[in-house]
């Protein structure tokens, strides 16, 4: 049985494990966190990823946990509505909290996949016929293939492809999301305020029991901060959003207390090929499109489907499979990454003039003849891949691990 080590147990990792075990492979997933990571922001699905969810048999489970968000309202500093967007613009065809999605994926794979929590890969040695892996815990194992599904700052990519700086393209923005109280009593909706170069908002989550506070801002130069120090990152948000009206002081206070504070640069990962020898990348590790694209989760789910399917179709010949994976994903990745650049202009307008134009366009949207072109751009990117059907080549049903 071909053994595959996957680094990362968020979206791409467990989705890949799901397909690999269905095709008769033996997947092991190593995750740095001590357990599947709960919480997090809302992520959404569009286009081809909906088909993959259906083929995985989890579409109904994801629907059952859908956020069911309504319109999102843009407000001014006095809290007055200035425009709104329909759910399809920011919530896709189907939206779920990232933690809920991870739980579904983990529960569907826990019986058939070996999970190693609280560990990480320290070194990889690919000798052409297999990969020797040393874990941080001291464990050593040999695998036929190793796949990095460990996100934007992928450890596997660093070990097998070289430093992140060679592949990371900063878009010039930073983002923070955390769980806060739903102090506005939002009912399956959200409110957003823009000031030039900054976006701050809150949306309800978990059937209005809580809310998320989100902060986006532009930074001309790369910020120098410690990625492992949330307190210094919170101070950056505090400084960036100080003195802004509306509900911002309350959201900042909530962010400071939040149990699940998230902060990062908005960066895309661009590679010519998603593999080196017996090591390959999937999801954000290989082709992060950024939160501004709204396509990262779709890319992760579709990428896992294509990578496992191509391995299966090539009869386990990883050289052929990885080459085909590159070809099949390339245009899809490009379309999703392009969406982020367009999304940034609209979501974080750089000037008062553009803010006014954006708000006017949103208000006029129902009457614009080219409305459908604008509304369907994200769906078009979500469908920018033709999915092969690999199911009819299935060798055997999934066998639970002893």
Footprint on this chain of ligand FAD (rule: CB under 6 A): 7-13, 30-33, 37, 41-44, 98, 120, 149-152, 155, 175, 177, 283-285, 291, 294-298, 300
Nearer to ligand FAD, 121 or 195 (CB): 121
Min separation Cβ 214 and ligand FAD, Å? 7
For residue 291, the tally of other CB atoms under 10 A from its CB is: 21
Question: Which CB, 61 or 124, lies closer to ligand FAD?
Answer: 124
CA distance 52 to 50: 5
Q: Which is nearer to ligand FAD, 33 or 327 (CB)?
A: 33
Task: Please report how close the Cβ of residue 393 comes to ligand FAD at its closest, in angstroms.
Answer: 25
Residue 284 C-beta: closest distance to ligand FAD, Å: 4
Least separation in angstroms between CB 345 and ligand FAD: 17
Are 210 and 203 a contacting pair, CB within 8 Å? no
Tokens representing 89? 């613009």
Both tokens assigned to 249: 């002081």
Residues 336 and 299: beta-carbon distance below 8 Å? yes
Helix axis angle for 248-257 and 230-241, nearest 10°, is: 180
Q: Which residue is nearest to ligand FAD (CB)?
A: 296
Rounded to an integer, what distance in angstroms lies between the CA atom of residue 81 and that of residue 53? 36
Q: What count of residues does the chain have?
A: 402
What is the nearest approach in angstroms of ligand FAD to the Cβ of residue 136? 8
Judged by DSSP in three states, 126 sits in strand
Output 195 or 285, the one with its CB closest to ligand FAD.
285
CB of 122 to ligand FAD, least distance (A): 9
Rounded to the nearest whole angstrom, what is the least distance from the CB of residue 356 to ligand FAD in the complex?
A: 26
**What pairing do the DSSP bridges indicate for beta strands 140-143 and 131-135?**
antiparallel
**CA pseudo-torsion sign 70, 71, 77, 81:** negative
Minimum CB separation of residue 317 from ligand FAD in Å reads: 25
Cβ-based nearer residue to ligand FAD, 33 or 399 = 33
Rounded CA-CA distance 37/64 in Å is 20
- Which residue's CB is nearer to ligand FAD, number 31 or number 247? 31
- From the CB of 392, what's the least distance to ligand FAD, in Å? 27
By beta-carbon proximity to ligand FAD, the closer residue of 27 and 151 is 151
CA-based nearest residue to 186, from 202, 173, 199: 202
Task: Closer to ligand FAD by CB, 309 or 382: give it.
Answer: 382
CA pair distance 169, 171, nearest whole angstrom: 6
- Pairing mode, strands 72-75 and 81-85: antiparallel
Q: Which one, 117 or 351, has the nearer CB to ligand FAD? A: 117
**Which residue, 76 or 120, is less far from ligand FAD as judged by CB?**
120
We find the least distance from the C-beta atom of residue 302 to ligand FAD, in angstroms, to be: 11
What do you get for the CA distance between the two ends of the chain, in Å?
A: 15
Q: Do residues 190 and 71 make contact, with C-beta atoms less than 8 angstroms apart?
A: no
| Beta strand 121-126 pairing with 131-135 | antiparallel
What totals of helices (H) and strands (E) does the chain contain, helices first? 13, 18
Measured CA to CA, the distance from residue 17 to residue 13 in angstroms comes to 6
């Amino acid at each position: 049985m071909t053994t595959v080590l996957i680094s990362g147990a968020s979206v791409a990792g467990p989705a890949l494990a799901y397909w690999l075990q269905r095709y008769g492979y033996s997947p092991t997933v190593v995750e740095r966190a001590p357990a599947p990571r709960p919480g997090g922001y809302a992520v959404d699905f569009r286009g081809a990823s909906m088909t993959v969810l259906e083929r995985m048999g989890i579409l109904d489970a994801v629907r059952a946990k859908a956020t069911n968000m309504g319109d999102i309202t843009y407000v001014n500093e006095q809290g007055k509505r200035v425009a709104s967007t329909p759910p399809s613009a920011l919530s896709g065809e189907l939206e779920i909290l990232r933690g809920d999605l991870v739980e579904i994926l983990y529960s569907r794979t826990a019986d058939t996949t070996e999970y190693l929590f609280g560990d990480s890969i320290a070194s990889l040695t690919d000798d052409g016929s297999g990969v020797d892996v040393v874990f941080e815990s001291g464990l050593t194992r040999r695998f036929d293939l190793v796949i990095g599904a460990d996100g934007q700052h992928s450890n596997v990519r660093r070990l097998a492809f070289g430093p992140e700086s060679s592949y990371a393209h900063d878009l010039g923005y930073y983002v923070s999301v955390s769980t806060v109280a739903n102090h506005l009593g939002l009912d399956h909706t959200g409110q957003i305020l823009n000031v030039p170069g900054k976006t701050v908002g809150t949306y309800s989550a978990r059937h209005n029991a809580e809310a998320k506070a989100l902060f986006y801002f532009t930074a001309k130069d790369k910020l120098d901060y410690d990625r492992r120090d949330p307190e210094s990152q919170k101070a950056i948000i505090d400084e960036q959003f100080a003195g802004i009206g509306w509900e911002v002081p309350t959201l900042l206070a909530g962010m400071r207390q939040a149990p699940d504070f998230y902060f990062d640069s908005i960066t895309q990962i661009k590679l010519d090929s998603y593999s080196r020898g017996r090591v390959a990348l999937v999801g954000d590790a290989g082709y992060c499109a950024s939160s501004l694209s709204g396509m990262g989760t779709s890319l992760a789910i579709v990428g896992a489907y294509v990578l496992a399917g191509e391995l299966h179709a090539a009869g386990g010949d990883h050289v052929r499979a990885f080459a085909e994976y590159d070809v099949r994903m390339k245009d899809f990745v490009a379309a999703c990454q392009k969406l982020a650049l367009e999304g940034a202009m609209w979501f974080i307008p750089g000037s008062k003039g553009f803010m006014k134009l954006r708000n006017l366009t949103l208000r006029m949207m129902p009457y614009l003849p080219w409305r459908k072109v604008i509304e369907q751009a994200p769906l078009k990117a979500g469908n920018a891949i033709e999915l092969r059907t690999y199911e009819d080549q299935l060798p055997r049903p999934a066998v639970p691990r002893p």
